[in-house]
Amino acid sequence: MTADQTITKEIQRRRTFAIISHPDAGKTTLTEKLLLYGGAIQLAGSVKGKATARHAVSDWMELEKQRGISITSSVMQFEYEGYCINILDTPGHQDFSEDTYRTLMAADSAVMVIDAAKGIEPQTRKLFKICAMRHIPIFTFINKLDREARSPYELMEELETEFGIGTYPMNWPIGCGQEFKGVYDREKQAILAFNEFHRGQSKIRAIECTLDETEKLDELIGHRLRETLADDIELLDGAGYDFDIEEVRAGRLSPVFFGSALNNFGVEPFLEHFLKMTMPPLPRTSGDQIVDPMDEHFSAFVFKIQANMNKAHRDRIAFMRICSGKFERDREYFHVQGGKALRLAQPQQLMAQDRAIINEAYAGDIIGVFDPGIFSIGDTICEKGQSLCFEGIPTFAPEHFASVERVDTMKRKQFEKGIQQIAQEGAIQIFHEPHTGVEEVIVGVVGVLQFEVLEYRLKSEYGVDIRRRAMPYELVRWVENEDFDIHKLNLTSDTKWVQDFKGNNLLLFTSSWCINWALQKNEGLRLREFNRD
């Protein structure tokens, strides 16, 4: 086999997907079970539970374990039946939606986890719109069938109405809650019987059984549920969407799976179906150029930066999605935004917080490299001589603001290093009032919970206690005009002029009315909602 054939074969077996959901729908639990099947872990952890319980691998940050929620996205790679799988587990909480958005930029498909009792929730809607915008194929796992649940018809109709896509149930639930007997696999015409004590200790053997085998079905699930199942499948076959793999891959048809992640029921069949239906790494765009993942030339972009994942090393890791070709350790590559050649130090394969140094990786893989402070989110890395620059990742405009200062005046260096590093990760945005001599830093965040994370991380990772004072501003706009004398602007008394740490001028407003005032009273003033740097 030639080198090119080897690269192509390796890329074709890659599957890179994000798992998204509203908080508490079971996303991290599903992730743990997938890792369990891949042999990546020996025992699945829990997101919530007793203090002595084992925590989920993907929730590695100490605050995540304390709060029982995912705060930062995690990357996990494992092998399963010939596939190399890269899972991106995302925060479900809306306060961390910006991290989820960046992570979705690195995925080729998405698994949407929905609570069978609650259906589609606000955060699920927001995340779906991001997937639809990028035409990402979506696979739906309707979770917690072992509890009381809404009608599966109602859940599918909600999916179709809310998101404007078709649905195709790959299996169908037999009862729910205390009456939950399992699922019927439509393709195999077989029943997967549910046992709440199973917990994934061994592979569940499907019981082949057509709907005409009434006696066998009555023995398995009872006469009433058998009749209901027969009616349901007849209706789905007659009135439901037809299965079309091209529609799935175009993001217009979502295959739906029913199960219980906590009980590890329906997870393995889901994984096997998913791997057959989802695509190898997809092409990416660089300006007008389409970058083929099978191209032999290496290219990648940075979608996440995380400092202090390993307390012992106090290092900073840049997460890169490889878009084409093969990455090789110790080779020199070109950092487009920095305009210089570099060697990517300590390339690592990731399993949440744990890492292993690697010598090679391929398109579709997510790798972590040591970042001495030169990378920014959205940066492109490629081979020398290539004219590539992948589309940047826009930042969300902050909606909440607070002034932050250190308690101990002797810890200025630690405070500045900590707050700047966390800002470079994209978790917060930082500003200051120019020409005032005030050392306070103004912090802007998308969700208020990010303030708590900032406070926790500054204390635990940098040894700095802070005082935080909420500010009344809700909107921020960048000033586009370079020739405007900011001092002469006619603004309302509750509008504040600030600068970011690149020297860009911004205005903080308490309401949309104040923005309109600024535009009306200052002829020629141009404001934009997002930063383009």
- State how far the Cα of 290 lies from the Cα of 388, in Å rounded to an integer: 10
- DSSP three-state, residue 10: helix
**Amino acid at site 485:** D
Query: In the predicted model, is pLDDT for residue 287 greater than 60?
Result: yes
The mean predicted confidence, pLDDT, of the chain is 82
**Amino acid at site 225:** L
- State how far the Cα of 103 lies from the Cα of 98, in Å rounded to an integer: 9
- 380 DSSP 8-state letter: E
Phi, psi of 521 (to 5 degrees): -90, -5
The residue among 353 and 63 whose pLDDT is bigger is 353
Of 205, 212, 247, which Cα lies nearest the Cα of 233?
212
Q: Take residue 360 and report the two structure tokens written for it.
A: 């090679």
- State how far the Cα of 369 lies from the Cα of 349, in Å rounded to an integer: 9
The residue among 385 and 125 whose pLDDT is bigger is 385
The residue among 57 and 480 whose pLDDT is bigger is 480
Q: Take residue 484 and report the two structure tokens written for it.
A: 């405007």
Band the pLDDT of 55: cuts 50, 70, 90.
very low
Residues 120, 158: contact at Cβ < 8 Å?
yes
- State how far the Cα of 40 lies from the Cα of 34, in Å rounded to an integer: 9
Return the pLDDT at 383. Answer: 92
Residues 304, 338: contact at Cβ < 8 Å?
no
Residue 225 half-sphere exposure, CB side, CA atoms within 13 Å?
A: 19
Vertex 284 angle, CA 282 and 287, to 5°: 165
Which residue is it, tokens 């404007």?
164
- State how far the Cα of 33 lies from the Cα of 40, in Å rounded to an integer: 10
pLDDT above 90 as % of the chain: 33
382-428 per-position pLDDT tens digit: 998 888 888 777 667 788 899 999 999 889 898 988 888 888 777 78
Beta strand ranges found along 81-189 (DSSP E)? 83-89, 109-115, 138-143, 166-169, 171-174, 182-185
- Long-range contacts, 427-430 (Cβ 8 Å, 24+): 427/98, 427/99, 427/453, 427/454, 428/454, 429/395, 429/398, 429/500, 430/500, 430/501
Query: In the predicted model, is pLDDT for residue 44 greater than 60?
Result: no
137-177 per-position pLDDT tens digit: 999 999 998 889 899 999 999 989 988 889 999 999 998 88
The full set of domains in the chain, from first to last, is 3-71+109-277 (3.40.50.300), 284-382 (2.40.30.10), 400-528 (3.30.70.3280)
Pairing of the two strands 284-286 and 289-291:
antiparallel
Q: Is the dihedral of CA 26, 253, 187, 276 positive or negative?
A: negative
Which residue is it, tokens 């740097």?
533
- State how far the Cα of 47 lies from the Cα of 27, in Å rounded to an integer: 10
- State how far the Cα of 368 lies from the Cα of 346, in Å rounded to an integer: 8
Rounded alpha-carbon distances, angstroms, from residue 379 to 229, 298, 321, 392: 52, 14, 11, 7
Query: In the predicted model, is pLDDT for residue 378 greater than 80?
Result: yes
427-481 per-position pLDDT tens digit: 788 898 887 766 679 998 877 877 888 888 888 888 999 999 999 998 899 898 8
Residues 518, 511: contact at Cβ < 8 Å?
no
Return the pLDDT at 42. Answer: 45
- DSSP three-state, residue 65: helix
Return the pLDDT at 311. Answer: 58
Most confident segment among 52-56, 92-96, 315-319, 433-437:
315-319
